[in-house]
Chain A
């Protein structure tokens, strides 16, 4: 019976217009930098935020906290923000949860109305800060999104009848889940700001163009309890020497190599290729098998070579985000269920210590047959 009625009334006139609950509004991006180094994810968020703001015909705001930020506010304008709010204070020089949390909460509370959307990077900083802001304002937060959009939502669940209705402008926060096999669209249409953290390396930044906009300084009122934690030291290992990001071919090793010596074999394999380099997972960098410069992944380098050979690497999400855009990925792993086989192009199930020497052998053979002409030519 109920079903038939619904068929006759495809318009569903009973759905109330709920646009007053979460009205359209600005999009706010919270900027991130480490030791004065603006993080690429911030520019990516500005690119994504620009699209959302334009859809709603609203301004794109950016909040940056720090000390002596130089031309950073202008750069944020140049990459798409209409208004940049600057909180400058010596105590904000380096990220700490509580002082940054204080500034963001005070800032949002000072606004006449809440932004529609608030975005942070899905980094060790963004994922540290965003949940605190969301909890403070009792608003929804979607983790680690890879797609963002604005669209309508019809809420028909009868659990809370007061919520039934049509919400015309919701933030669609889309995130991979269950080992990336599903995409979940998460909504939080009951309250602004609708918050999300976004995975680095996914959104596309706008090119830097000289753009006009407003730069506004905002007050910083830290309290004693904001200083309960101090930063003793920050170690940022800036990569030198190895040009991982420019290599055409990367041969990367993980914990499956078993020992540090395994990297000698990888070096030899890399040596078979033109413009090649050796990469690694964080686990083996932490073990001291290979320097930090060689680390690929969320907290290492993002690389995009033509060929990536992963040896004894399980394919954890933090590793994957640094290399999944490689044109061709070959994975060697002895576990047929290793996650890396879900996104590599070719997977060899086997022991590195059998496969790699055989690869080196076959590549060398291929070289000596195809390289004959050049040998003659160069002599």
Chain B
């Protein structure tokens, strides 16, 4: 393709915290039993990637690192219109912290090839650090726009609006760059019937699917295993502790007539103290 942008979107599979299945009694996640889903924040990144392709042409490659089932989210990305996907999957990646993750993803991006724009989600719902995007940008020596909520290209320059404390700012940069998309960006459009149908057809013919989704290992991408997984991670989770929900326990009022509910709350706490004096 002569014109348009080579776009990469980074997607992660996370445990579905909304469903109660797979939660250990101590509040941690049993990853083997938990339902899995595409990180909700990455849907906004996917939308930004697909919209950029639609507006300015080019191609979208989705990249994920995770255990084999993570291929599910690459299929989902394919249904939404992504052109191809790569899954980096290797046992030696277990227990990677953000630094080790960013290193492994950096090697994968180099393996995948040339790019103009990389979109990441703002953060994930499991690790929740928002660190992988900027760390990836550092490894790739790229300018970055984090907390981006609006994105367009004008005369070859990216114009992006990012959230800041007390407002927002608009920044301009030329590709290549890395952008992390906030959840105030446009929601992901529904997948087209055609997209879903195409992927369904592909799944019937594994050899053909392999042309679109490729699973690679650390050796394939030339990553140093010493810099991945537990060994390559400068941080460790030393201890976890269950805490009472923040702010103590909430008394829930439900399942009664509206006037009863309201009366219950008003008598249950000292709201009346704050009432203004009555009308004349």
Contacts and interface: CB of A to CB of B under 8 A. Distances in A.
Partners in one complex: yes
B242 interface: yes
A358 B280 CA distance: 21
Interface in B109-146: 126, 128-135, 137-139, 141, 143-146
Contacts of A371: 277-279
Contacts of A374: 277-278
B28 A187 contact: no
A378 interface: yes
A129 B146 CA distance: 10
Contact of A180 (B135, B147, B171, B243): B243
A209 B213 CA distance: 62
A237 interface: yes
B252 A336 contact: yes
A9 interface: no
Given A188-B236, A230-B173, A362-B262, A180 B245 contact: yes
Contact of B146 (A124, A153, A272, A350): A124
Interface string A75-109: 00000000000000000000011100100000000
A330 B252 CA distance: 10
Contacts of B6: none
A228 B253 contact: no
Given A362-B266, A367-B277, A131 B98 contact: yes
A172 B239 CA distance: 10
A337 B255 CA distance: 14
B230 interface: yes
Interface of B: 17-18, 26-29, 97-99, 102, 126, 128-135, 137-139, 141, 143-147, 149, 159, 162-174, 177, 184, 230-231, 233-243, 245-248, 250-255, 258-259, 261-263, 265-266, 268-272, 274-280
Nearest to B272: A366
Nearest to B245: A342
A34 B138 contact: no
Interface centre among A186, A238, A272 (most CB of B within 10 A): A186
Nearest to B270: A328
B100 to A, nearest CB: 10
Contact of B129 (A128, A144, A272, A343): A144
Contacts of B272: 366, 370
Given A229-B172, A274-B276, A286-B184, A34 B235 contact: no
A355 interface: yes
A344 to B, nearest CB: 5
Contact of A188 (B138, B159, B231, B234): B234
Given A178-B27, A306-B274, A188 B139 contact: no
Given A273-B276, A348-B261, A366-B275, A139 B251 contact: no
Interface in A277-324: 282-283, 286, 292, 298-300, 306-307, 320, 324
A345 B134 contact: no
Contacts of A375: 278-280
A16 B230 CA distance: 21
Contacts of A273: 274-276
